[in-house]
C-alpha cells in the first residue's frame, strides 16, 4: 500500500497527498489514462466503482482503496506467473452440490464483520441469510451483494488439502420467490489464491461450514 509521499518507478511516479493519488509520467514514457495520453493526472480509485485505468507499455495500473489505505494494483501481461499459468482444475460436477436454499431477509440489512488478507476487518451489509440442507444437516450462510448478484465468501472442510485454505467465492442470482440456488460446482478461488499481491476478503466466521463440499475449483499450485 502507498505510504505518504510518492512511489517512483521506471514508468513514472505516484504521489499521494491529501487523500488523492496523482500520477506523473517519466520522460519518454507513453502513459495512457483511460485511452487518453497524459503526462500528469489525478486518478480515481476503485472506491468510485469505476477506477481510472493507466497503461504504460505492457503495464496496466489502477488505484485501490482498502479501508483508509490506498494502493496501486499493477497487471503485467508479460509476467512470469501469467506465462507459467497451467490452467484450473475442478472437482467432478455433481448434482447433489447444487442445492436449493431458503432466503431469509434482514430488516434492515445486517452489518457483518468481513476480514481480509491484509489482516484488517471491515463491516459490510448482508441483505439476509440463506439456509440449506446437505447430508441431512442444516447450514446457513450470510452473503453480500455485488452488482446484481449475491456474493458468498465461505470455507468448508475441504480447505487446505483440496481447496484454497482461506476459502472460496460463490456468486448466485438474486433470490426469487424466497429461494436461492447454491451451485457449489461453480465455487471459485479468490484472487489471493494466485498472487501474494491481492487484497481478498475472507469468510466471516459464520460462513465457516463444518462439512466437506467437494465441488467447484480445486486449490491452485502451492
Predicted confidence (pLDDT) per residue in 172-193, tens digit: 999 999 999 999 999 999 999 9
Tens digit of each residue's pLDDT (9 = 90 or more) over 71-119: 888 889 888 888 888 899 999 999 999 999 999 999 999 999 999 988 8
Do 23 and 64 lie in one domain? The reply is yes
Report the helix count and the strand count for the chain, using DSSP H and E.
Answer: 1, 16
Q: Are residues 58 and 139 in the same domain?
A: no
Domain shared by 69 and 105, yes or no: no
Q: What is the pTM of this model?
A: 0.81
- Kindly write down the DSSP assignment for every residue of 101-125, as one continuous string: EEEEEEEEEEEEEEEBTTS-EEEEE
71 and 101 assigned to the same domain: no
Same-domain status, 55 and 155: no
Q: Range of 44's domain? A: 5-78
Q: Of 78, 103, 136, which closes a domain? A: 78
Please tell me whether residues 119 and 187 are part of one structural domain: yes
| Domain end residue (candidates: 50, 78, 106) | 78
Which cell goes with 191?
484472487
Which positions ≥6 away from 52 have C-beta within 8 Å?
33, 34, 41, 43, 44, 62, 63
Residue 83 in any domain: the answer is no
- Domain identity same for 28 and 113: no
User: Phi and psi at residue 134, in whole multiples of 5°?
Assistant: -140, 130
pLDDT of 9 reads 52
Q: Do 71 and 118 fall into the same domain? A: no
Domain end (from 15, 49, 78): 78
Do 74 and 169 lie in one domain? The reply is no
Mark whether 103 and 63 lie in a shared domain: no
pLDDT at 1: 46
Q: Residue 7 class from Cβ within 10 Å (0-12 exposed, 13-18 middle, 19+ buried)? A: middle
In the chain, the number of structural domains is: 2
Same domain, 65 and 10: yes
Cα torsion angle, 182, 186, 191, 195, sign: positive
Amino acid at each position: 500500500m502507498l505510504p505518504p509521499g510518492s512511489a517512483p518507478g521506471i514508468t513514472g511516479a505516484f504521489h499521494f497527498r491529501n487523500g488523492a493519488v496523482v500520477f506523473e509520467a517519466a520522460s519518454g514514457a507513453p502513459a495512457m489514462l483511460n485511452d487518453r495520453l497524459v503526462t500528469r493526472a489525478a486518478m480515481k480509485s476503485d472506491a468510485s466503482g469505476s477506477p481510472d485505468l493507466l497503461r504504460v507499455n505492457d503495464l496496466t495500473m489502477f488505484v485501490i482503496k482498502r479501508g483508509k489505505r490506498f494502493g496501486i494494483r499493477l497487471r503485467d501481461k508479460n509476467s512470469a506467473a501469467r506465462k507459467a499459468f497451467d490452467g484450473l482444475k475442478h472437482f467432478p460436477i455433481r448434482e447433489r452440490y447444487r442445492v436449493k436454499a431458503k432466503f431469509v431477509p434482514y430488516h434492515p440489512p445486517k452489518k457483518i464483520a468481513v476480514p481480509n488478507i491484509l489482516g484488517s476487518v471491515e463491516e459490510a451489509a448482508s441483505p439476509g441469510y440463506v439456509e440449506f440442507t446437505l447430508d441431512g444437516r442444516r447450514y446457513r450462510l450470510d452473503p453480500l451483494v455485488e452488482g446484481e448478484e449475491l456474493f458468498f465468501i465461505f470455507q468448508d472442510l475441504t480447505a487446505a488439502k483440496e481447496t484454497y485454505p482461506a476459502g472460496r467465492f460463490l456468486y448466485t442470482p438474486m433470490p426469487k420467490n424466497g429461494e436461492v440456488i447454491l451451485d457449489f460446482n461453480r465455487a471459485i478461488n479468490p484472487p489471493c489464491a494466485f498472487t501474494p499481491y491481492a487484497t481478498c476478503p475472507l469468510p466471516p466466521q459464520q460462513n465457516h461450514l463444518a462439512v466437506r463440499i467437494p465441488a467447484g475449483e480445486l486449490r491452485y499450485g502451492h
